[in-house]
């Protein structure tokens, strides 16, 4: 068990070794138990986390803010539009100055080809840990909560369990590619076989896919890519079907929407869930386009674990904050 993570950033999923992720999960399960028993756990008394948002959020904001309070500290919600960032404050200013006020800096910046660069630039100048609350490339805290949820439902030994990471149609907006990228990077390290499914044009970043394939090779797990949603379901133990934008093909919102609209049949429904293993679970980070991306009967049905998954954001994030700040 790796116990010294003080001062560490978490920006990309592979920033923490497998052993360090195992430590995070141990602590997360302990914190979940403590909260259930009403045991105080003020590991971050008097500490303050800056929570800088360039993009909207329901779960991430709520869970980081509640988590800091439960750890005896405070989460300061800062919306980028209310800062002087638009008037010239650079990532250097944010890193240097917030690093002197706060004990940690958490940032959500999902703009394509900008978010990850910005977070890394802040980290370069910050004297305190920088935590990625989602960027254009990674959503590491979602992925930790997902892994925790999968272990709760399928056991700690995940070897030979198959996770299906599938594209699904959505009409609301071009969703980031960070969730599927984080999943394919992290899950092979824990023994899971991966099936990645999407229609042509919805590819993920080639270097991320290559890294994921290398992780699978190291772990001795399978990694398949298919372009058929029905085929992807076969043998699935964990069905993680959600939408993402065709950002590697076009970042243009109108062209991207046209591409999405030509795949309305990629909906996660009961017929498809039946093609997976009988005890398969359904996962989605939320928000979902109901009855467009996933049917309500799947999203709220007995095989869905989406609310446990959302809850585990709280416990996983508290673990990382308690270990790093
Ligand atoms: N899953 C997730 O990150 O949710 P929010 O966008 O609401 O924070």
CATH number reported for the structural domain that contains residue 272 in this entry: 3.40.50.1370
CA of 217 to the centre of ligand 1 (A): 31
Tell me, in angstroms, the distance from the centre of ligand 1 to residue 15's CA: 21
For residues 201 and 75, membership in a common domain is answered with no
The residues pairing with 195 across neighbouring beta strands, listed in sequence order, are 164, 224
Q: What SS3 state is found at 239?
A: strand
Q: Round to whole Å and give the CA distance between 115 and 119.
A: 6
Q: Quick one: 95 and 176 in the same domain?
A: no
Instruction: Calculate how far, in angstroms, residue 110's C-alpha sits from the geometric centre of ligand 1.
Output: 11
Same-domain status, 171 and 297: yes
What total of structural domains would you count in the chain?
A: 2
Mark whether 248 and 298 lie in a shared domain. Answer: yes
Question: pLDDT at position 264, please?
Answer: 98
Ligand 1 atom with least separation from CA of 286:
1
Q: Exposed, middle or buried, 121 (CB in 10 Å: 0-12/13-18/19+)?
A: middle
Q: What is the dihedral of CA 148, 150, 151, 156, to 10 degrees?
A: -130
Cα separation of the two ends of the chain: 18
Mutate to test the pocket of ligand 1, among 75, 286, 307, 314 (most ligand atoms within 8 A of CB): 286
Q: Report the atom number in ligand 1 closest to the C-alpha of 134.
A: 3
> Is there a contact between 18 and 145 (Cβ–Cβ < 8 Å)?
no
The radius of gyration of the chain from alpha carbons, rounded to an integer in Å, stands at: 19
Asked if the structure places residue 4 within a domain, the reply is no
Q: Tell me whether residue 155 is in a domain.
A: yes
CB 57 within 8 A of CB 108: yes
Q: Residues enclosing ligand 1, CB less than 6 A? A: 57-60, 134, 142, 285-286
Indicate whether 6 belongs to any domain.
no
Q: Which atom of ligand 1 is nearest to the CA of 62?
A: 8
How many Å apart are CA 324 and CA 11, to the nearest integer?
A: 13
Say whether both 169 and 287 belong to one domain: yes
Q: Atom 3 (ligand 1): residue with closest C-alpha? A: 60
**Which is nearest to 231 in space by CA: 203, 257, 196?**
196
One domain for residues 75 and 223: no
Q: Is 38 exposed, middle or buried (0-12, 13-18, 19+ CB in 10 A)?
A: exposed
Q: What is the pLDDT along the chain (325 residues), one digit of tens a residue?
A: 888 999 999 999 999 999 999 999 999 999 999 999 999 999 999 999 999 999 999 999 999 999 999 999 999 999 999 999 999 999 999 999 999 999 999 999 999 999 999 999 999 999 999 999 999 999 999 999 999 999 999 999 999 999 999 999 999 999 999 999 999 999 999 999 999 999 999 999 999 999 999 999 999 999 999 999 999 999 999 999 999 999 999 999 999 999 999 999 999 999 999 999 999 999 999 999 999 999 999 999 999 999 999 999 999 999 999 999 9
Does residue 180 form part of some domain?
A: yes
Q: Does residue 5 fall inside a structural domain?
A: no
**Same-domain pairing of 165 and 89:** no
Distance, CA 59 to ligand 1 centroid (Å)?
A: 5
**For a substitution probing ligand 1, which of 58, 131, 313 has the most ligand atoms within 8 Å of its CB?**
58
pLDDT at 155: 98
pLDDT for the residue 1:
84
Q: Give me the pLDDT at residue 72, please.
A: 98
Residues 148 and 256 placed together within one structural domain of the fold: yes
Residue 42 to residue 126: CA distance in whole angstroms:
24
pTM, two decimals, is 0.98
| H runs (alpha helix) in 81-114 | 91-93, 99-101
Query: Are residues 122 and 158 both part of a single domain?
Result: no
Domain ranges, residue 41 = 13-139+313-324
In a domain, 95, yes or no: yes
C-alpha closest to that of 183 among 158, 325, 294? 158
| Helical (H) or strand (E) element with 146 | helix 140-154
Does residue 3 lie within any of the structural domains? no
215 shares its domain with 284: yes
- Are 168 and 293 within one domain? yes
Q: Using CA positions, which residue lies closest to atom 4 of ligand 1?
A: 59
Q: How many CB atoms lie within 10 A of CB 255?
A: 13
Kindly state whether residues 156 and 279 are assigned to the same domain.
yes
- Please give the number of the atom of ligand 1 that sits closest to the Cα of 60: 8
Task: Using the structure block, give the residue that is written with the tokens 């990625």.
Answer: 132
Say what the pLDDT of residue 9 is. Answer: 98
169 class by beta-carbon count within 10 Å (0-12 exposed, 13-18 middle, 19+ buried):
buried
pLDDT the model gives residue 150: 99
Residue 318 maps to a domain: yes
Who contacts 254 (Cβ-Cβ below 8 Å, separation ≥6)?
none
């Amino acid at each position: 068990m790796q116990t010294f993570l003080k001062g560490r950033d978490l920006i990309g999923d592979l920033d923490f070794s497998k052993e360090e992720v195992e430590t995070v999960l141990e602590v997360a399960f302990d914190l979940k138990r403590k909260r259930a028993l009403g045991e105080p756990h003020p590991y971050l008394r008097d500490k303050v986390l800056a929570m800088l948002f360039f993009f909207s959020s329901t779960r991430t904001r709520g869970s980081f803010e509640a988590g800091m309070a439960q750890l005896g500290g405070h989460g300061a919600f800062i919306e980028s539009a209310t800062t002087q960032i638009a008037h010239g404050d650079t990532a250097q200013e944010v890193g240097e100055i917030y690093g002197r006020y706060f004990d940690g800096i958490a940032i959500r910046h999902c703009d394509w080809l900008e978010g990850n660069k910005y977070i890394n630039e802040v980290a370069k100048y910050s004297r305190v840990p920088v935590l990625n609350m989602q960027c254009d490339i990674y959503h590491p805290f979602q992925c930790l909560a997902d892994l925790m949820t999968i272990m709760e439902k399928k056991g700690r030994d995940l070897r030979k369990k198959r996770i299906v990471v599938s594209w699904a149609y959505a009409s609301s907006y071009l969703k980031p590619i960070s969730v599927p990228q984080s999943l394919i990077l992290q899950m092979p390290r824990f023994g899971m076989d991966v099936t990645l499914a999407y229609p042509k044009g919805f590819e993920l970043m080639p270097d991320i896919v290559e890294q994921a394939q290398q992780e699978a090779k190291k772990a001795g797990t399978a990694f398949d890519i298919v372009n058929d949603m029905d085929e992807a379901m076969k043998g699935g133990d964990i069905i993680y079907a959600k939408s993402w934008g065709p950002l590697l093909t076009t970042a243009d919102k109108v062209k991207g929407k046209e591409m999405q609209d030509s795949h309305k049949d990629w909906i996660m429904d009961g017929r498809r869930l039946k093609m997976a293993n009988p005890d398969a679970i359904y996962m989605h980070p939320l928000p979902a386009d109901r009855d467009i991306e996933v049917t309500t009967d799947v999203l709220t049905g007995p095989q869905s674990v989406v609310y446990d998954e959302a809850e585990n954001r709280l416990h996983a994030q508290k673990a990382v904050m308690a270990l790093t700040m």
